[in-house]
Chains A and B, each alone.
Chain A
Amino acid sequence: DVVMTQTPVSLSVSLGGQVSISCRSSQSLVHNNGNTYLSWYLQKPGQSPQLLIYKVSNRFSGISDRFSGSGSGTDFTLKISRVEPDDLGVYYCGQGTQYPYTFGAGTKLELK
């Protein structure tokens, strides 16, 4: 199975600040079709995960441009700028390139 390693485990940020979350995969996430199926999700307390970014850098419908994804191969990053209260929660990366699909363990974003 592809192991997804997220760092850090938790992050404290001031409102208006910027943060980065790293996600590394144990194998390349480049699919045979040339696409890289790496997604980022936010799970707010008591809610289902919501998709933020798909295929490394594509923002899902309605997602603010304060969220940006980058990376390639096995190394990926989510950046959040001008952090707002509604951004707090647990962020997960996930891969859909190889079965079984797998997720990182999560990064908890808290207020400083």
Chain B
Amino acid sequence: QVQLKESGPGLVQPSQTLSLTCTVSGFSLTSYNVHWVRQPPGKGLEWMGRMRYNGDTSYNSALKSRLSISRDTSKNQVFLKMNSLQTDDTGTYYCTRDESHWGQGVMVTVSS
């Protein structure tokens, strides 16, 4: 059974760095792509970036200067790091296996 679960801090201070982990099961990270998508409260979806099955990464150019996606295949984990957080980075962050399987999401609030 394919599962993805996001984890990380619920509260981050402005200008600090967000670190999230997506732990997957039921499939191999070397066979499927994993994406990060976020959603501000009450708003739509924004694609952030992708870890390809072969280890390549792609980023939304709007976030590229602040964003890094990496993985540890031995732990079945994909990581998101984003620096210089501001209040408009508040929202729910999802990891997905391509477009088909989504995690439950993790709510991140940027506030002092």
**A contacts, CB < 8 Å to B:** 1, 39, 41, 48-51, 54, 60, 92, 94, 96, 99-106
CA distance in complex: A10, B63 (Å): 30
Q: Could you say which residues of chain A place their CB within 8 Å of the CB of B58?
A: 99
- Which B27-57 residues have C-beta < 8 A from chain A? 35, 44-47
Contact between B102 and A102 (Cβ–Cβ < 8 Å)? no
CA distance in complex: A106, B46 (Å): 12
Contact between B99 and A96 (Cβ–Cβ < 8 Å)? yes
Contact between B99 and A51 (Cβ–Cβ < 8 Å)? yes
Top 8 A-B pairs, shortest CB-CB distance: A101-B47, A100-B60, A48-B102, A103-B45, A105-B44, A39-B99, A51-B100, A106-B44
A48-B105, A106-B44 are contacts. A100–B62 as well, Cβ < 8 Å?
yes
Contact between B44 and A92 (Cβ–Cβ < 8 Å)? yes
Q: Could you say which residues of chain B place their CB within 8 Å of the CB of A92?
A: 44-45
Q: Could you say which residues of chain A place their CB within 8 Å of the CB of B44?
A: 92, 103-106
**B contacts, CB < 8 Å to A:** 35, 44-47, 58-62, 94, 99-105
Chain B interface mostly: loop
- Separation in Å of the B107 CB from the closest CB of chain A? 11
Contact between B102 and A49 (Cβ–Cβ < 8 Å)? yes
Which of B47, B59, B103, B104 is A103 in contact with, Cβ under 8 Å? Answer: B47
- By beta carbon, the residue of chain A nearest B62 is A100
Q: Could you say which residues of chain B place their CB within 8 Å of the CB of A106?
A: 44
- By beta carbon, the residue of chain A nearest B50 is A101
CA distance in complex: A94, B102 (Å): 14
- Separation in Å of the A43 CB from the closest CB of chain B? 8
Q: Could you say which residues of chain B place their CB within 8 Å of the CB of A105?
A: 44
Contact between B102 and A103 (Cβ–Cβ < 8 Å)? no
